[in-house]
Homo-oligomer: A and B are copies of this chain.
Amino acid sequence: MDSKIFNLKAKLEVYKAMTNGGNFADCPVRDVIQGISGKWSSLLVMALAEKPYRFGELRRLVPDISQRMLTQTLYDLQRDGYVHREVFPTKPPSVEYSLTDLGRSMFAPLQMLVQWAELNHDAVRAARAAFDAAQA
């Protein structure tokens, strides 16, 4: 493990950036992270990274999202510049959502996290089970 190098790098670059010089409360990094750390945000970004989807397609793709949260999460993602919304004058009008360049560039590091999750979900589940067993 190169944890020494890792920690040094973390301290010098990341910590300094996120603390905003000792101020955790109004930190721009926090502002950005919170925009994508919602319950559905990352999931929708991951879906749209594959290809553009229409509203109803997304709803069917993610069966346990409420229509209300789908609307709102897409709205928020659009507002932050990750998602582009385009209405086609078909009948009935269809609405297509796609990732912007900013969204695609954000998906790159997000993908790292997803890959980590893919590799380590067994460890997480094991930790969870062990913890629950110890509590009982």
Question: Which residues of A are at the interface with B, using a C-beta cutoff of 8 A?
Answer: 3, 6-7, 10-11, 13-15, 17-18, 24-25, 28-39, 41-43, 46-47, 49-50, 61-64, 78-81, 102, 104-118, 120-121, 123-128, 130-132
Contact = CB atoms under 8 A, between A and B. Distances in A.
A37 B35 contact: no
B24 A62 contact: yes
A114 B18 contact: yes
How many copies altogether? Answer: 2
Given A63-B25, A131-B79, A32 B106 contact: no
9 contacts: A14-B114, A17-B114, A24-B61, A29-B121, A34-B39, A37-B42, A79-B127, A102-B127, A108-B116
